[in-house]
């Protein structure tokens, strides 16, 4: 008799594959309910799928590549780190923008930020040791499988309301000889928070001090898929210029509205001794996961659109409408400085119950904050049609009046 199937599977993989994602569940619910009652009757603020089509330059680049490039080269394997011409173009764009001295050899093209993160966590995890990665709540829930999938340990630093800044004291307490890196995600999903240059400089100072104490570098993994989505004239600080032991992970999913196409990179800034080894280890980690190279067509498209980004005006309009509207109703909300999510305090504090109520009573879908590692809030994605915000606000108002009673 053969053993039952679950006993011959990797249990951690099985667990990750079976674990529910509240965001996905809400999104799937919206899709199927929409087929039943009409998509216009669903107010889906659950997921971070860009609502703006890719900039025209993206389509033009694809057409140009398909019409003019040698198809064998265009669709062929590239170097595992990516086409060197494309990587040099990205490096040159950084150098122009930040006065850095990057070369194509510091950039590893990946299938989105997701692969860049997983590869980085694996590269930083020493065999036979406990490898800890700190994340700051509220945090992107996929960090957990990315870290645990590489046998690392996720260490969550509790949220720091009201403005979700960096809690240096708590970080200092939790750093120990097993700490490999702290993940910084600014602008933040889900809070919309953008860390200031000063906050990051203070963090860098602490990490330098702790790296000295334990005689090994503690890295920042700077996860920046929303770097280009910032408002009110703000600019996301360039973290490798603030802290030398930085891996930056990037994705074009949001800045070019192409999340399904899977293209991004890991940048290992050449600011510390041994950076080439870390770069090689990220490549080796991705090789072990079966990533041969990032999609070639997408790499070349990025090479032609390196300084193009989505028009943030629509997101900004949505942001202001939602922020103002929710505040006027009475909700406590945080003004998002970047990304396309708004974090709102749930009246009474029971976020899962309020999310169910919004869904069942008003067909409004928003994600309770428990899945982001903190309780009592709700993430409202505003990468939706502006009309959905206007209609949705009426429902948020009705819900507030009934729920607050």
Site residues (CB under 6 A) for ligand PLP? 48, 112-114, 140, 185, 189, 223, 225, 251, 253, 259, 264
CB of 264 to ligand PLP, least distance (A): 6
SS (H, E, C) 93-153: HHHHHHCCCCCHHHEEEECHHHHHHHHHHHHCCCCCCCCEEEEECCCCCCHHHHHHCCCCE
| 341 or 362: CB nearest ligand PLP | 341
- If the CB atoms of residues 225 and 237 are measured against ligand PLP, the closer one turns out to be 225
Q: Which is nearer to ligand PLP, 315 or 362 (CB)?
A: 315
Least distance (Å) between residue 198 CB and ligand PLP: 22
Q: Are 64 and 304 in contact (CB under 8 A)?
A: yes
> Whole-angstrom Cα distance, residue 177 to residue 359?
45
Half-sphere exposure of 193 (CA within 13 A, CB side): 25
CA distance 234 to 180: 30
What's the min distance (Å) between Cβ of 405 and ligand PLP? 35
Closest CB to ligand PLP among residues 142, 178: 142
User: Rounded to the nearest whole angstrom, what is the least distance from the CB of residue 49 to ligand PLP in the complex?
Assistant: 9
249 versus 318: smaller Cβ distance to ligand PLP? 249
Task: Find the helix or strand (DSSP H, E) in which 69 lies.
Answer: none
With contact defined as beta carbons under 8 Å apart, do 90 and 265 qualify? Answer: yes
Is residue 300 within 8 Å of 86, Cβ to Cβ? yes
* Shortest separation between residue 56's beta carbon and ligand PLP, angstroms: 21
Q: For strands 264-268 and 246-251, give the pairing.
A: antiparallel
Give the pair of three-digit tokens for residue 169. Answer: 């004291």
At closest approach, how far in Å is the CB of 273 from ligand PLP? 28
Residue nearest to ligand PLP (CB): 112
Residue closer to ligand PLP by CB (options 256, 322) is 256
Least Å from the CB of residue 115 to ligand PLP: 7
The nearer residue to ligand PLP, 106 or 189, going by C-beta atoms, is: 189
Closest to ligand PLP by CB, 211 vs 249, is 249
160's tokens:
């720091």
**Nearest-5° angle of CA 193, CA 236, CA 334?**
15
In the complex with ligand PLP, the residue whose CB is nearer, 87 or 193, is 193
Tokens of 96: 């122009």
The three-state secondary structure class of 180 is strand
Pairing of strands 43-44, 364-365: parallel
Report DSSP state, residue 231: -
Rounded to a whole number of angstroms, the minimum distance from the CB of residue 116 to ligand PLP is: 8
Name the minimum Å distance from CB 319 to ligand PLP. Answer: 16
Q: How far is CA 206 from CA 20, 218, 237, in A?
A: 36, 10, 18
For 342: left if phi > 0, alpha if psi spans -120 to 50, otherwise beta; the answer is beta
Within 10 Å of residue 20's Cβ, how many Cβ atoms?
8
Task: Name which of 138 and 325 has its Cβ closer to ligand PLP.
Answer: 138
Least separation in angstroms between residue 44's CB and ligand PLP is 16
Q: Which is nearer to ligand PLP, 114 or 247 (CB)?
A: 114
Contact at 8 Å (CB) between 199 and 165? yes
How far are the Cα atoms of 72, 114, 185, 258, 268 from residue 78, in angstroms, in the given order?
A: 11, 20, 29, 21, 20
For the bound state, the minimum distance from the C-beta of residue 183 to ligand PLP, rounded and expressed in Å, comes to 9
């Amino acid at each position: 008799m053969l053993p039952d199937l679950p006993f011959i599977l990797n249990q951690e993989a099985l667990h990750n594959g079976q674990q529910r994602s509240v965001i996905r569940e809400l999104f799937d619910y919206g899709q199927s309910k929409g087929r039943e009652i009409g998509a216009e009757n669903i107010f889906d603020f659950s997921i971070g799928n860009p609502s703006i089509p890719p900039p025209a330059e993206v389509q033009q680049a694809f057409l140009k590549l398909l019409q003019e490039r040698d198809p064998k080269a265009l669709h062929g394997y590239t170097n595992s780190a990516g086409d060197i011409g494309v990587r040099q173009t990205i490096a040159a764009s950084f150098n122009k923008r930040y006065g850095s001295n990057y070369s194509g050899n510091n950039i590893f093209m990946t299938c989105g930020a997701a692969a860049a993160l997983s590869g980085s966590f694996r590269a930083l995890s020493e065999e036979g040791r406990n490898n800890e990665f700190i994340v700051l709540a509220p945090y992107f829930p996929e960090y957990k499988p990315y870290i645990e999938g590489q046998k690392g340990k996720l260490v969550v630093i509790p949220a720091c309301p009201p403005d979700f800044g960096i809690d240096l004291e708590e970080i200092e307490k939790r750093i120990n000889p097993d700490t490999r890196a702290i993940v910084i995600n600014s602008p933040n999903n889900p809070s919309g928070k953008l860390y200031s240059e000063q906050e990051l400089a203070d963090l860098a100072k602490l990490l330098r001090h702790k790296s000295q104490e334990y005689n090994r570098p503690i890295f920042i993994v700077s996860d920046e898929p929303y770097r280009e989505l910032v408002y009110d004239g703000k600019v996301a600080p360039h973290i490798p210029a603030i802290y030398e032991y930085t891996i930056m992970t990037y994705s074009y999913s949001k800045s070019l509205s192409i999340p399904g196409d899977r293209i991004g990179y890991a940048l290992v800034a050449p600011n510390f001794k041994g950076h080439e080894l870390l770069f090689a280890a990220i490549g080796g980690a991705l090789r072990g996961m079966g990533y041969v190279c990032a999609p070639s067509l997408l790499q070349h498209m990025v090479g032609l659109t390196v300084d193009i980004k989505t028009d943030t005006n629509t997101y900004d309009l949505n942001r202001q409408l939602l922020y103002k509207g929710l505040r006027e109703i009475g909700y406590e909300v945080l003004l998002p400085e970047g990304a396309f999510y708004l974090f709102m305090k749930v009246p009474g504090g029971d976020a899962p119950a309020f999310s169910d109520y919004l869904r069942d009573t008003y067909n409004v879908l928003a994600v309770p904050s428990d899945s982001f590692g903190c309780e009592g809030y709700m993430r409202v994605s505003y990468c939706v049609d502006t009309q959905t915000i206007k209609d949705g606000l009426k429902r948020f108002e009705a819900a507030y009046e009934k729920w607050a009673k």
